[in-house]
Structure 1
Amino acid sequence: METAMKPRKRFRLRFDFWSIVTISAFAFFLLFLVYPLFSIFINSFIVDGRLDFSNYQEFFSYRYYYEALLNSLLVAFFATIFACCLGIPLAYIMTRYDLPFKNLINILLVLTLMSPPFIGAYSWILMLGNNGFITNIFSDWFNIDLPTIYGLGGMIWVFSLQLYPHIYLYVSGALKTVDRSLEEASEGLGLFGLNRIRKITLPLIFPTVSMGAMMVFMSAFADFGTPRLLGQSDTLLPVLAFEMFINELGSSPAMASTISIVLLTITTSILFLQRYLIARKTYTMNSMNAPKLVRLRWPLKTAMMMGIAGLLTVSLIPQATVITTSFRQTNGPVFTSGFTLDSYREVFYRVPNAIINTFTYSSIAMVFMLVMGLLVSYVIVRRSSKLTALLDSLIMIPYVMPGTVLGISLILAFNEPPIEITGTWVILVIAYCIRRLPYTMRSSTAVLHQIDKSVEEASIS
């Protein structure tokens, strides 16, 4: 039975607590998001103090610039494809078959997401770099030269292994809600095995798959640390924007702004494309009949467990490498035999302030995000209006905004009076909040939508 959508109420300004929350949220995002983006947009058209399109003409005319764009698209595209090839089959196996150690496997998969791709890139350099220990073993013992970890192939490898758990978590949640009767009905029509998955299961979970794929694409396309370590001669857009903004031979803020606008335009276009593909069809089902777990014979079960164990081992190698090498003895920059705690003593002796600042600023940002995310989510869900809908759209802009773009825009906007916060801890906390608030708010709104409003009304009485 279809129900007509309720029209949004017009926002009426009333001087109460929730009106103050709404106004404060708008002021915060207009000042620290819209104004910096406007500044970076205007700056991309400024050449020698006058309005000009030559920055964009230069970007698409010189191979050095547009090749970085092509490299970024290539790396993000193939990282997304490989992440889907790993995450979707793994999610299907884990949700449809009766396998042991599922809870442990889920925990290990989440652990692979705990470290940023930067750590994964550093770990793979220790193993497969020009002087990596795996590279040296194959070269010295077997006289085999392994492919280099540097370049586009290495970046795709690191991103794929780092980001496929996103696909797994999204898809496994969707597969658990697929109505079993639909798949059983498809078998009555002659669809079995891969044909049933391709024509019935995958179309039903397509919105979830596309959302996970978009997250992987955005993460790979906007990441700075991995291409900075592994790129060498293959430059990607985030690194190029950073180099244009901070360059020993002379910075070019205008070109950095132009590259940032190109980055933001592409990520926004990907978001709209994903929404367009979902809007073309209707994906609805009754999830009352959850799928049953299929029991496998031991040869097939053993083969699946060995495949999962192999994938997890490769995925967890970066974390294991970082932990192990942190205890290795060193002689200057060179690792020597034996294990020690000297590296930890040196870190806590030389850079204690960096450790304290990291935890302090992150904690401040976390508290602010939790409080603001909960309050704004309540306003958007419980006091729905055209104004709160606009606020919801405004908050989602950082979801598709690369970190490099956010950093450059904040520096350009707040590096001079009346608001001069560049180089202070305040701009770091603001950047953390702007970047991650959409995730906090989306989680809060999802929970609030599930709470019946009558519960709150009953509590008032």
Structure 2
Amino acid sequence: MRSLLGRLRSDDGDSLPLGLTLLAAAIAAAAIFPLSWVVLTAIEVEPGRAFELLVQPATREVLLNSVLLMAAVTVLSILIGVPLAYLTVRTDLPFSRFWSVVVALPLVVPSYIGAFAFVSAFGPRGEFHELLAPLGIERLPNIYGFPGAVLVITLYTYPYVYLTTRAALLSFDTTLVEAARTLDHDRWSAFRKVTLPHIRPAIAAGGLLVALYAVSDFGTPAIMRLSVFTRQIYVEYHAFGQDYAALLSLQLLAIVLLVLALEWWVRPDETVHSNLQGAGGGTPVSLGRWRWPATLLPASVTTLALVVPLWILGLWLVNAEGGRRPSFAFEWSYAVNSVTVAAAAAVVAALVALPVGYLSGRYDSPLSNLLDRATYVGFAVPGIVLALALVYFGARANSLPAAPQLYPTLALLVFAYVVRFMPQAVGSIRPSTLQVDPKLVEAARTLGDAPTRAFRRVTLPLIAPGVVAGGALVFLTTMKELPATLMLRPTGFETLVTHIWRAQASAYFQYAAIPALLLIVISGLSMVVMLSQERLGR
């Protein structure tokens, strides 16, 4: 009985520590709790009206567009991110250090800024059209709609796959590939049979983040005029259609749960470990005559994702007209506020993701996997829905006697960031944990180390790159988060994204250019720091 109370059993026979399991369960419950507001609101809708709303043509269109958008973006992101990770880590690609950083930088550009830039550049009367007009080209392909949304979201989400795959490749024991080559496996066969099984969990983790981002993004589909769940929910909330918005939110949550279950199903059953002695090293794969042509892939992707928005922001800054508006003047406190809350969210998210990611990576059981999947739900919920839920609960908490003021406070804002973006840290920590050979921990235990000491001395140093990468991802996405920041920030607390939003909403683009560029620069510097921790040099 004592054994049953103190331990839980995993599928492979290992025991799940009760304390760690309860901690992970508490974290998962805290991440899911705000969503109860959606459920409570939806069940109040009369069944007949609910059925009528859910089967109407507009709902079917929203469902189809959302699913197709998510699928297309995920597939394209994998097709871009995995080759880029392999090229920059395992081959003799020219200027690989440079490309390692540059191809990750699109993640620092908010997708809504990218969408504005692409519309301004490639729209019917955009800047690119004006450049081609002297050549007799009167019309460009329509950038609006499904193709434009897929293009923009892919360009700013493929780094999720790139970074998780890159982290797995850097911690991969390359001597295994060399051993396969000595057994007469060609390069493709060695990759398929040795490398791919090791990096599949990382690819799945990155693909999951892309899928959830694509189905929860609001800004890009709205700008591209594509009717999806997030856009329709936003419209209904502001049109006082709370019933319909709640029902759409439930449908969106059902899709999220389906995606989580699908990723769980395709996740490899086997756990792949490495002693990391050959990690990140080995002889680079020679590209031969394809060495220089291979640079066309990172060059073309980064040109679209980085050069286009920087070009448009520069034009906004130089060519914008109109008188000065003191109320839109930029202040450095906006940047300080952005960095402060993003750093706080990154630290907290990394700390709370560590128990969940370690538990699901170290112990293979339905319970540990369920807790891991539960944390991903918050990432897929639109920021506007999560913010409204926290406003609802925060306002009621304020009315309780002797209760501290909860809304609007920075603590509630940071909590929203953690709920939204903790899966990024979990998705980075879990694959790193899978790479750690349990025999190393067992050796430390036989030498007298307690479980906590063995984790601190053996496991934590090995998974540190994953922890750093996860925290950096949270920092980057927190810097860009708009809906939650607008609704939950304390009065007078301005950040870069709120200033950009105010300037763009009022069509004073010249006042949006400076904070947008500064946002990209700060996030870019954090990306450089993160990648430098992953042993760029080989």
Letter in 2 for 1:241: I
Q: 1:14 matched to which residue of 2?
A: none
Q: What is the alpha-carbon distance in structure 2 between the residues aligned to residue 423 and residue 166 of structure 1?
A: 31
Q: Any idea what SS the aligned residue of 2:15 has? A: coil
8 Å contact from structure 2 (residues 353, 425) kept in 1: no
Contact preservation (8 Å) 1:241, 1:256: yes
Code of the aligned partner of 2:385: V
Paired amino acid for 2:231: V
* Pair 434,126 (structure 1): closer, same or farther in 2 beyond 3 Å: same
For 1:247-262, what aligned pairs fall within 5 Å after superposition?
A: 247=239, 251-262=240-251
Distance 2:160 2:211 in 1: 11
| 1:70 aligned to which of 64, 69, 83 | 64
For residues 124-180 of structure 1, what are the alpha-carbon distances to aligned partners after superposition, in whole Å with 9 as ceiling and x for unaligned?
011001221112333442325221111000011111211222222222222344444
Q: Deviations over 1:48-98 (max 9, x none)?
A: xxxx33454234311101211110111111111111111112222222221
Q: 1:129 to 1:82 in 2, by over 3 A?
A: same
Find the counterpart in structure 2 of residue 350 from structure 1: 327
1:360 paired to 2:305: no
Unaligned regions of 5+ residues in structure 2, if any? 1-10, 457-538
**Of 36, 39, 44, the match for 1:38:** 36
Kindly provide the amino acid, as one letter, of the partner of residue 255 in structure 2.
Answer: I
TM-score by length of 2: 0.66
Q: Is the 8 A contact 2:237 2:245 kept in 1?
A: yes
Aligned pair partner of 1:402 in 379, 382, 397: 382
- Aligned counterpart in structure 1 of residue 96 of structure 2, from 83, 98, 102: 102
Distance of 1:353 and 1:184 partners within structure 2:
55
TM-score w.r.t. the length of structure 1 is 0.76
Which whole-Å CA distance do the structure 2 matches of 1:182 and 1:445 have between them? Answer: 22
> Are 2:90 and 1:81 aligned?
no
Aligned residue number for residue 337 of structure 1 = none
Q: What residue is the counterpart of 2:162 in the other structure?
A: 168
2:534 matched to which residue of 1?
none
Does structure 1 residue 242 correspond to structure 2 residue 234?
yes
How far off its partner does 1:440 sit?
5.6
Match 2:420 to one of 413, 431, 435: 435
Question: Which among 275, 283, 302 is matched to residue 292 of structure 1?
Answer: 283
Equivalent runs, 1:62-461 vs 2, <5 Å: 62-180=56-174, 182-184=176-178, 186-187=180-181, 191-231=185-225, 234-247=226-239, 251-284=240-273, 287-289=276-278, 290-297=281-288, 299-332=289-322, 346=324, 349-351=326-328, 356=333, 359-360=336-337, 363-364=340-341, 366-367=343-344, 370=347, 374=351, 377=354, 397-414=377-394, 418=399, 428-439=413-424, 454=449
For 2:248 and 2:168, locate their aligned partners in 1 and report how far apart those are by CA, in whole Å.
Answer: 36
Of residues 174-183 and 62-71 in structure 1, the stretch that sits farther from structure 2 once superposed is: 174-183
Shift of 1:252: 1.0
For the residues of structure 2 that align with 1:361 and 1:296, how far apart are their CA atoms? 42
Distance in 2, matches of 1:305 and 1:448, equals 32
Q: State the Cα deviation string for residues 290-315 of structure 1 (Å, max 9, x = none).
A: 54203444x42221224432332222
Over 3 Å counting, the alpha-carbon distance change for 1:409 and 1:127 in structure 2 is same
Greater C-alpha radius of gyration = 1
* Deviation (angstroms), 1:209: 1.1
Conserved 8 A contact 2:92-2:285? yes
Count of aligned pairs between the two proteins: 422
More divergent stretch after superposition (213-222 vs 399-408): 399-408
User: Partner letter of residue 201 of structure 2?
Assistant: P
The percentage of counterpart residues that share the same residue type is 24
Which of 7, 15, 18 in structure 2 is aligned with 1:9? Answer: 18
TM-align CA RMSD: 4.3
Distance in 1 (alpha carbons) for counterparts of 2:345 and 2:301: 38
Residue 55 (structure 2) pairs with residue 61 (structure 1): yes
Structure 1 residues 411 and 255: alpha-carbon distance in aligned structure 2, compared to 1, 3 A threshold: farther
- Counterpart of 2:386 in structure 1: which amino acid? L
Q: One-letter code of the match for 1:94?
A: T
Which amino acid is the alignment partner of residue 36 of structure 1?
P
SS at match of 2:157: helix
